Structure 1
Amino acid sequence: MEVDDLGRRLTEAGVRTLLIDGRSGSGKSTLAERLSRAWAPSVVVRLDDIYPGWDGLAWAVDHIRTAVLEPRAAGRPGRWRRWDWTTGTPGGWHDVDTDARLIVEGVGALTAANRALADLGIWVQTADAERKRRALLRDGDMYRPHWDQWAALEDDHLARHRPQSLADWTMTETPAGPIWTPG
């Protein structure tokens, strides 16, 4: 399935809230960006902008649910808080309009509680060596000393929430291109 086709399908199905999860470097951000263009207008909220430091995965999972997804489900605007990675402190607040099409992407996006508040979930997977190559190419020296620490948090998320089992679609990155499999 092409991303443009997926954007058309989302529009036709009346999808308003989409969650994209997968391990670090799997291609979540790239998919979200491409899908945002194909499913315009839409807003992308990246959990990378929310995690409060290298131990903040669980906090961000709860924050996106209580601050964005639950208010939207109740017909109210969502509001999330950015983490300033440079200073290591909380940053500004960002509003998400109730009527906006929303893509939440990042490790931790798909949990049972979050999925219950969204219209669709996608799991993105890529071979481990390729994921690591991409992530370190993208974030380099900032990420390198934290790779194992973050991978342990991902392992905990996978064991606790089983996000792949919550996905409506799995996109597997291969050298020949993406393969889409229904959940």
Structure 2
Amino acid sequence: MTVPQGVLDRLVARVRAAAPRLPAAGPEGTAADRPAGGTRLVVVDGPAGSGKSTLAAQLAEALPAQVVHMDDLYDGWSGLAAGVERLHEQVLAPLARGEDGRYERYDWGTGRYAEWHDVPRAEYLVVEGCGAGDPRVDDLCALLVWVETDDALRLTRGLARDGEDARGHWKAWMAAENALYAAHRTARRADVRLDGWGRVTWPAHGI
């Protein structure tokens, strides 16, 4: 999925016009801390294989912004819930205190945690991945975007990337994310919803 330029432009304009909800610095911050006006957080959520990563890359280039990928936070195929907790503990909670975030990347190939990545305070930050739109982001993010497409296309995309041997993992993951999204009501809470081709499906009047 590539989001059409007109849709991308409207998303970027909305983010830039929003008030930052993550502080510039904590109580002990100094004038040298950055950014002066705080951080505008953009969250891109939706089922696996729907096109979140592509949209996040487009937003990152246009804003510009660092991207945190939830795939780096899950500890394997059964790590959806744990990845959501690690996002808040290692990245969003520190940023909400006016501190830099820092997370340890999970290496799917070795099945172990690898290097640490810094998430410094900046004007913009994009977080993308399944579960990123946990209700705790409601008071933190400038924009919550939901991306979805039909299950058959998602599975086709996923197996093209991960191989046919991953079919069982994909089926289990899809069941887990369905349960999570039912509990979080993420699609209903989103500011904007897109389909798998980058078209706006809500709000009806456009962005």
Paired residues in the alignment total: 180
Q: How much has 1:114 moved relative to structure 2?
A: 2.5
Q: Is 1:7 aligned to 2:12, yes or no? A: yes
> Could you tell me which of 137, 149, 158 is aligned with 2:172?
149
Q: Which moved more, 1:10-19 or 1:74-83?
A: 10-19
Give the TM-score normalised by structure 2: 0.80
CA deviations 1:110-166 (Å, max 9, x no partner) are 111133222221110112211111121122246323111111211221122111122
> Could you tell me which of 57, 70, 74 is aligned with 1:33?
57
- In structure 1, list runs of 5 or more residues that go unmatched: none
More helix by share: 1
Q: How much has 1:22 moved relative to structure 2?
A: 0.5
How far apart are the structure 2 equivalents of 1:106 and 1:52? 14
How far apart are the structure 2 equivalents of 1:102 and 1:168? 17
User: Aligned in 2, Cα 1:31/1:142: closer, same or farther, shift over 3 Å?
Assistant: farther
Q: Is 1:52 aligned to 2:81, yes or no? A: no
Partner SS for 1:23: coil
Q: State the structure with more CA Rg.
A: 2
Query: Residues 69 and 118 of structure 1 are in contact (CA less than 8 Å); yes or no, is this contact kept in structure 2?
Result: no
How far apart are the structure 1 equivalents of 2:178 and 2:201? 23
Percentage identity across aligned positions? 42
How far apart are the structure 2 equivalents of 1:163 and 1:96? 24
- In structure 2, list runs of 5 or more residues that go unmatched: 1-5, 21-39
Q: How much has 1:48 moved relative to structure 2?
A: 0.9
Partner SS for 2:137: helix
